[in-house]
Amino acid sequence: MLQAALARFGSASYEDVKLRDIAADVGVDVALVHRAFGSKEQLYAAALTASRAKERPVVSEGSSLSAQYAEGLFGERENETLEIVVRSMTNPQAREVLRMRSGPEFIGPIAATLEGPAAQERAILFNACLFGISILRQVLGEEALQDANAATMRPLIERVLAACLAPQGAVEEVAAEIASAPPALEARRAEARPIKKKAARGAPERSAARK
């Protein structure tokens, strides 16, 4: 029944999934589905947990999470959890289930691996970036995020996710690095300016020679 529910919730909106259809898929009476799961909301929550358990990388050390999840974004397998979430977000009942399950399913396992202050907030930011990237890749089909560009995009995504997980001190170092970039850019622009001016001065001379 749970496997049938996964297939249904992953391919149709929450409103269109009926318990009787799930029962018919496995050849049982719909009353058995009610006895096993209680309600459609509870079955949806169970399906979300089951899909998440299959797809979540082994959480070992906080420092390696960015690499694990960046790697997990690419590959032939579709993100079943994302399909379930995206197809149901417009429904108030499903959205409430998602809100209640986001802590134990998405945020909590990440926060538990982190050291330092604001672990919960960093885990939330990590998941926000991960979901945004996943939606652009799988739902909208953004070309830059497809498997053909994995070699280029994977390290970039890993850096973004690592920044989300970094404690405050590390984030400040990254900010300082970014802040120092404009002067370097300005220096490169200054080097290029004499060349442009020289070319501009040379133009009238060439024009006069032609005359």
**pLDDT tens, position by position, 55-92:** 766 555 545 789 888 988 887 566 889 999 999 999 99
On the question of pLDDT at 197 being above 70, the answer is: no
Q: What is the pTM of this model?
A: 0.72
Structure confidence at residue 170 as a pLDDT band (50, 70, 90): low
**pLDDT tens, position by position, 128-154:** 999 999 999 999 999 999 999 999 999
Tell me the C-alpha distance between 44 and 94, whole Å. Answer: 8
- In terms of Cβ atoms closer than 10 Å to its own Cβ (0-12, 13-18, 19+), residue 185 is exposed
Residue with tokens 């979300």: 48
Please report, to the nearest 10 degrees, the dihedral formed by the alpha carbons of residues 85, 88, 92, 94 taken in order. -60
